[in-house]
Structure 1
Amino acid sequence: MTVMIGPYEPHHRAAVTGLLQRSLLPEDAAEAAEIVDLLAGSTGFVAIDGDAPDGEVVGVALASPGHHDPTVGHLDLLAVDPGHRRHGHARALVAAVEELLRERGLTAVQVSGNAPTHAWPGVDVRYTPALCALGALGYVHDRTAWNMTAELVEGSPALRETRAAQERLAESHVVVREATPADLPELLPVIAAEWGAAWVAEVERAVAGHGGCHLAIRDGAPVGFAAWGGCRPSWFGPMGTLPAAAGLGIGGMLLRRCLRDQADRGLRRVQIGWVGPVSFYSSAADAVVERVFFLLTKPL
C-alpha cells in the first residue's frame, strides 16, 4: 500500500466529503458536505492511496489558528477511511499539521471547537479510535463538553405552540418575529457587545440562508435572539437574552420557534450544541444530554 501525504487543496472537496460520509457517525456523515464547506478556511493535509485509481483520498487533517487566541492552533478535522486505519495515516497527518502550525509560530494545538467555524465542540467519545490515537500522540484531555438532543415530534414540548407566549410578551411591549438581513446592522453590535464576535459570525451565517434566526424586540431594539443552522443544519444555537429582559420567558419561546423551523425542514432530531444551561433546555424542550465530547490539548 502506497499512501502519500500532501496538502489539502480545494479540488479535494468532493473526495473529502465522500471520505467523511464513509468515516463519520451517521448523524455527522449526513452533513458531510456542510462540514467541509464550514471548514473551507482551514488548511491541512490529505492522505492519498497511490495504488487506487485516480489516487483515492483515504485520510484528512485540517487545522486553523484560534479565532479567540491566534497563538493556539485548532485541529478542526481528523478522519481516516475505516478500511485504511491502523496503518499510521492519522499519525502522519497529525504530524504534518503540527509541523505546519509550528512553522507559523503557534505554541499549542487544541482539539476543541474553534468558534465560530466548528463542526463539533471536541471529539465525540464514540470516536474512540480517534481519542486513542490522539492520546498516543501526546494530546491530553482537559475539558468535557456536551450537546443536548431535542426530539421534533408533533405534540412534544419542543414543538409546543408559541402564540400564547407571544401574546403575553406583547403586553410587555415585546414583539417577536423572524430576523431578516435588514436587522443585522442593529442586531450584530448588540450580540458583539454582550456575547462576543464568535456568535456574530454564526448569526450572520444563519440569517444569510444557512439556517434561521428569531428576534424579540422591545421599543424598537433587539433584546433577545435565537438562531439555528449557523454551523450545521441540524444544530440549534446560539441564543441570548439581554439581562434587562430576563425573566419574561423570551428564551424558551424563541427556542421553540427555531425548533419549529427545523421541523418544517424535515428534521426529527436537533442538537443543541455545546450546552451550558442543561436545566433550561430540559424544561423548555424536553431535551436530554446525549453527545459528549472530550476537548484535548498539546504544546508544540
Structure 2
Amino acid sequence: MDREPRVEFGVEELSQRHWPEVVALCRDALDLPEDAAEAEPIVTRLHPVTTVPADVDTVVGPRRGIGLVALVAGAVRGVVLGSLGHRDPAVGHVDLIAVHPDFRRQGLGRALLGRAESTLAARGVTEVLLAGNPPYYAWPGIDVRYTPAICLAMALGYQQDRTAWNMTADLTSASSPALRDTASAERRLATAGVTVRRAATPDASALVSFARSTFGDAWAAEAAQAIGREQAGCHLAVRERDGEVLGFAAYGSSRPSWFGPMGTAPTAQGLGIGATLLRRCLRDLRAAGHQRVEIGWVGPVPFYASAAAARIERVFFLYRKQF
C-alpha cells in the first residue's frame, strides 16, 4: 500500500527565482559526494532554460526542456528536470529527480515524476527514458547506489533495458599511467605526419564536421562545447599536409570532472593517437586540481584500463516507459 504524504506540498513549474534553492537542494539530496560537489554545474547543465551555444544549436537543434519543483511551506524540497530527445521528439528524458532527504517517502518524488510524464506527454512524447540525453546530460542513467530513485522507477512501471558504466582515473600520483609523458609519442606521430595540439576556437568547425560525420551529432555537440569554455578543453590530432582532423579528446563538456567524448578516425587507428590525446587531457584536469576523473558512459573498457589504469567504479541502470 502506498504511504500517504505526511506533509502538504504543491508542484509548480520551475522558474528562475527557484534557481538558488534548486542548487542548494541538490547539494543536500545528491547522496554521492562526487555529485553533490558538482550540484551547481549539474543544475546549470540540465536547467530547461540553459542557453545553448550557437555552434551546438546548429548541430542538435534548440534544447527543449521542462522543470518542476515540489514546494513545502513555500520552500523547494524536490525537483525534476526533463527534456525532449534531440533525435526523436517523441522520446522524453527525465534528466534529474531529487528530493530533500528530510522529505523522502512522503510522495514528493512520485508526484514530481508523474507530473513530468504528463508534461512531456502534452508535448507529444510517447516514451520516457530515465537516461541521459546527450549532449546535455549529467549521468548515463540512475547510479545503482541511488536506491530510492530505482525504487521509484520500479513503482511507476519503468522497465530496465540497459546498463552503463563510468570508469575512474586516479590522478593523485604523478607516476600514474594516466599522466604518462606524451613527448615521445608526439614525436613518433610527427614523423608519421600527424600533429597533436590543443584545440582553439578556429578549430570548432572542422572538429564538429569530423565528429559529426564519424561519430554522430551528440559527440559533435559535446566536442564543440569543450572549446573555449571554462573548466573544459579539447585536444586534436591533425594531418600536417592538409589539416584534416584525425582524432579528438574532450573534457568538461558534460561535467567539470568528467572526461569524454574521444574518438579517432578509423583510418588512423593503431597509431597511438587515442592514448596520447587522453593523457594530454588528463594532465590538464590534474593541473586544474582534479585528483580523480570520471570517464563518462564508457565503451572501450580495455583501452582505458590499459592507457589510464582506469577502473569501473560507477554503474547505471537505464529505464524506459511507454505510454
The normalised TM-score by structure 1 is 0.97
- Checking the alignment, whether the CA contact within 8 Å between 2:89 and 2:124 is kept in structure 1 is no
Match of residue 196 from structure 1: 216
User: Any idea what the Cα deviations from partners look like across 1:154-186, whole Å, max 9, x if unmatched?
Assistant: 111111111010011011011110000011122
Question: Following TM superposition, by how much is the alpha carbon of 1:117 offset from its aligned partner in structure 2, in angstroms?
Answer: 0.3
Match of residue 4 from structure 2: none
Question: Following TM superposition, by how much is the alpha carbon of 1:241 offset from its aligned partner in structure 2, in angstroms?
Answer: 0.5
Q: Which one-letter code corresponds to 2:29 in the other structure?
A: S
Q: Partners in 1 of 2:317 and 2:308 — Cα distance?
A: 25
Q: Say whether 1:136 aligns with 2:143.
A: no
Q: Indicate the SS of the match to 2:312.
A: strand
Q: Partners in 2 of 1:204 and 1:37 — Cα distance?
A: 17
Match of residue 281 from structure 1: 304
Q: Partners in 2 of 1:68 and 1:273 — Cα distance?
A: 20
Q: Say whether 1:122 aligns with 2:145.
A: no
Q: Say whether 1:267 aligns with 2:290.
A: yes
Match of residue 18 from structure 1: 24
Q: Partners in 2 of 1:3 and 1:150 — Cα distance?
A: 42
Q: Partners in 1 of 2:246 and 2:159 — Cα distance?
A: 40
Query: Which one of the candidate residues 216, 230, 234 is aligned to 1:213?
Result: 234
Question: Following TM superposition, by how much is the alpha carbon of 1:44 offset from its aligned partner in structure 2, in angstroms?
Answer: 2.2
Question: Following TM superposition, by how much is the alpha carbon of 1:4 offset from its aligned partner in structure 2, in angstroms?
Answer: 1.0
Q: Partners in 2 of 1:190 and 1:94 — Cα distance?
A: 38
Question: Following TM superposition, by how much is the alpha carbon of 1:266 offset from its aligned partner in structure 2, in angstroms?
Answer: 0.3
Q: Indicate the SS of the match to 2:250.
A: strand
Alignment of 1:171-182 (within 5 A): 171-182=191-202
Q: Partners in 2 of 1:191 and 1:89 — Cα distance?
A: 41
- Checking the alignment, whether the CA contact within 8 Å between 2:160 and 2:318 is kept in structure 1 is yes
Q: Which one-letter code corresponds to 1:34 in the other structure?
A: P
User: Any idea what the Cα deviations from partners look like across 1:96-133, whole Å, max 9, x if unmatched?
Assistant: 00111111121010011101000000000000111001
Question: Following TM superposition, by how much is the alpha carbon of 1:208 offset from its aligned partner in structure 2, in angstroms?
Answer: 2.5
Q: Which one-letter code corresponds to 2:8 in the other structure?
A: T
Query: Which one of the candidate residues 261, 272, 276 is aligned to 1:253?
Result: 276
Q: Partners in 2 of 1:253 and 1:102 — Cα distance?
A: 45
Query: Which one of the candidate residues 161, 164, 167 is aligned to 2:187?
Result: 167
Question: Following TM superposition, by how much is the alpha carbon of 1:10 offset from its aligned partner in structure 2, in angstroms?
Answer: 1.8
Q: Partners in 1 of 2:167 and 2:87 — Cα distance?
A: 25
Match of residue 35 from structure 1: 42
Question: Following TM superposition, by how much is the alpha carbon of 1:14 offset from its aligned partner in structure 2, in angstroms?
Answer: 1.1
Q: Which one-letter code corresponds to 1:183 in the other structure?
A: D
Cα RMSD (Å)? 0.8
Q: Indicate the SS of the match to 1:207.
A: coil
Q: Indicate the SS of the match to 1:209.
A: coil
User: Any idea what the Cα deviations from partners look like across 1:244-267, whole Å, max 9, x if unmatched?
Assistant: 111100000100000000000000
Query: Which one of the candidate residues 134, 144, 149 is aligned to 2:168?
Result: 149
Match of residue 88 from structure 2: 69
Alignment of 1:210-249 (within 5 A): 210=230, 211-218=232-239, 219=241, 220-249=243-272
Q: Say whether 1:88 aligns with 2:121.
A: no
Q: Indicate the SS of the match to 1:280.
A: helix
The normalised TM-score by structure 2 is 0.90
Identical-pair percentage: 54
Q: Which one-letter code corresponds to 2:183 in the other structure?
A: R
User: Any idea what the Cα deviations from partners look like across 1:71-108, whole Å, max 9, x if unmatched?
Assistant: 11000110000000000100000110011111112101
Moved over 6 A (4+): none
Match of residue 61 from structure 2: none
Q: Which one-letter code corresponds to 1:12 in the other structure?
A: H
Q: Indicate the SS of the match to 2:161.
A: strand
Q: Partners in 2 of 1:37 and 1:141 — Cα distance?
A: 27
Q: Partners in 2 of 1:14 and 1:184 — Cα distance?
A: 33
Q: Which one-letter code corresponds to 1:123 in the other structure?
A: I
Across the two proteins, how many residue pairs are aligned to each other? 296
- Checking the alignment, whether the CA contact within 8 Å between 2:207 and 2:224 is kept in structure 1 is no
User: Any idea what the Cα deviations from partners look like across 1:14-45, whole Å, max 9, x if unmatched?
Assistant: 11110010011110011111011111233121
Q: Partners in 2 of 1:5 and 1:257 — Cα distance?
A: 46
Q: Which one-letter code corresponds to 1:292 in the other structure?
A: V
